[in-house]
Amino acid sequence: MSETRRTVLITGVTRGIGRSVAERLAEDGHVVVGCGRSAPVLEALSSRLKAPHRFAAVDVGDAEAVDGWARDVLDAGAVPDLIFNNAALMNELAPMWKVPADEMERMLRVNVLGVANVVRAFVPAMIERGRGVVVNLSSGWGSSTSPEVGPYCATKYAIEGLTGSLAQELPAPLACVALSPGVVDTEMLRQCLPDLAPSCVGPEAWADRYVDDLLALGRADNGRSLRFELG
């Protein structure tokens, strides 16, 4: 890993992998720009990880809110070196025909449109500066399926396609990759696989192992679908 301090933008920073990656990056001297939807958690993070770290309450599925956040961040000179598109929702387990329309729409808005909104708002500044990496969180369910998680599978398959196209569009030396973190004991995993989750590694262990690998991603990885998984 380069010793140069990086600016890393993380969506879904209030819990799970997003929060653990943020805390590890801050410990290592990097600057974290994060967003989430829980104002109390964001306030607590801001108290612990003070400036130059920046945290804001933003719904990534709201394009206008993301644009406003981006203006604030970019006007402060915090052009991301790395975007970690981590924010996502899981559906309540159910056959596809029993998933309410509003739940499906909410997941598409956050899991897919949220990634597109962040890309639209921040990537032009990265292109202008001439460097940067976009990491879009995928899943094993971005290349496989299981019953009762159809909406989540649909969103992660979409992320794989979005990432591949964006990788073809980005000028060198920028890069975009899809990343499956493997099976990590998060609130989301406890929602969909409650019997398995307690036996899996936690997000802190995942971040400790893979933060340096995230920072090392570059043009040679452009367009790849990666899996960073702890046994």
* Coil vs helix vs strand at 177: strand
Among candidate residues 84, 152, 157, 210, the one labeled active-site is 152
Q: Which of 159, 122, 126 lies closest to 142, judged by CA?
A: 159
Annotated active-site residue 152? The verdict is yes
Neighbours of 195 (CB within 10 A): 7
Neighbours of 199 (CB within 10 A): 8
57 beta partners: 36
CA distances from 96 to 12, 61, 149 (A): 26, 22, 8
* Coil vs helix vs strand at 170: coil
DSSP string over 77-138: T---SEEEE-----PPS--GGGS-HHHHHHHIIIIIIHHHHHHHHHHHHHHHHT--EEEEE-
- Report, as residue numbers or ranges, the catalytic residues: 152
